[in-house]
Amino acid sequence: MKKTIALLAAGLVATIVLAKTTHLGSYVKTAWRQAKDVAKQQVSTDFEIERVSQEIGSLDRALDRMIRPIAEHKVAVDRLRREVTEKEAKLAEQKKVLLDATAAVRNAKPNEQLVFADKPYPVEQVKRKIAVDFESYKWFESSVGAQRKLLESKEATLRAAQDQLQTFMSKKRDFELQLAQLRAEHEVNKVAAVGTDVEIDNTPLANIAQALAELKDAIDRDRIVLDTRNGINAVNGIQLNQPQQTTAVDLDAIQAHLQNGAGGANGSKTTATASNR
């Protein structure tokens, strides 16, 4: 066991050294990339369409993961907005009370008492109350202002998230439309390919055509064999095993006919033919 581990370790070290000192690493990467390209080219169009369709369908799960936190954030923003609205209304009410009380103090005559909630109060006491309430007002005003800024920040975040969600949904619909168009174009291509893109070696017509061609070759071969057997004694086209007919040629008669014409002054010679049998 130890020997095997040692051999494997030595082989690994040798491979690493070889990869560093030669182009083996580059060759392996190139071969792997080419193998992936070839594998991708072997994938049918129907399979690739289905794969992309599933990828687009999986975007629904991503949408669900995006929509839930956005909805929760919107609920929080709406709640904060109501709180800020209510506090701003209270702040406006306190502001009006302080302004009215300040105006009443300014318009009061010396030693005059000011009446609030059916109770009379000296002017100096009202002034001290105004000062105390104004400090509370300023703290409340600062708190409402901070909440207003927080609300504006959360609203901006919500709008950005909603915009991203809308973009995501629009992109998904665009992908669906593109895939639908490509699927339709692929179906048109498949219809157009019927009868034209035929694997000849795999069709009955091709098999029959091949059988007829082979049958013609066989008949031609048989004819050549028969011709060879029948003409085995032939020399220069003369069949020695068949009797030949020869005709004697009268050259004098031919010459007389050509020189004097048929029925000339010298008359015509009788042409004699003889047959060698």
Residue 86 Rama label (left phi>0; alpha psi -120 to 50; beta): alpha
Least Cα distance to 116 among 134, 132, 131, 98 occurs for: 98
For the chain, give the percent of residues with pLDDT over 90: 30
pLDDT for position 44 = 84
Beta-bridge mates of residue 114: 121
Would the pLDDT of 215 be above 70? yes
Q: Residue ranges per domain, the chain?
A: 1-42, 52-175
pLDDT surpassing 60 at residue 150: yes
Q: What is the pLDDT of residues 7-27, one digit of tens each?
A: 445 454 445 544 554 455 565
Residue-wise pLDDT for 54-91, tens only, equals 988 888 888 888 899 999 999 999 999 999 999 999 99
Residue with the bigger pLDDT between 251 and 152: it is 152
Per the CB < 8 A criterion, the answer to whether 260 and 238 are in contact is: no
For the stretch 42-54, pLDDT in tens is 568 889 989 988 9
Looking at residue 161, what is its pLDDT?
93
Q: Flag whether pLDDT at 92 surpasses 70.
A: yes
Inform me whether the pLDDT recorded for 120 exceeds 50: yes
In this structure, what DSSP letter does residue 247 have? E
* pLDDT surpasses 80 at 154: yes
The pLDDT assigned to 270 comes to 44
User: Model confidence over 217-267: pLDDT tens digits?
Assistant: 777 777 777 766 665 545 445 454 555 555 666 778 777 877 786 554 444
Tokens 């999986």 correspond to 58
Q: What is the mean pLDDT of the chain?
A: 76
Task: Give me the pLDDT at residue 202, please.
Answer: 52
Considering only CA atoms, which of 74, 66, 32, 22 is closest in space to residue 165?
Answer: 66
Distances (CA, A) of 233 to 208, 223, 224, 237, 241: 40, 17, 15, 10, 7
Token couple for 200: 């000849």
Predicted pLDDT at 252: 81
Phi-psi label, residue 269: left if phi above 0, alpha if psi -120 to 50, beta otherwise: beta
If you write DSSP's letter for every residue of 91-139 in order, what string do you get?
HHHHHHHHHHHHHHHHHPPTTPEEEETTEEEEHHHHHHHHHHHHHHHHH
Architecture of domain 52-175: Orthogonal Bundle (1.10)
Chain CA centroid to CA 201, Å: 31
pLDDT of 156 over the 60 cut: yes
Three-state DSSP class for residue 237 = coil
What's the pLDDT score for residue 273?
40
Q: What is the pTM of this model?
A: 0.49
pLDDT recorded at residue 232 = 54
pLDDT exceeds 60 at position 209: yes
Residue with tokens 């291509």: 189
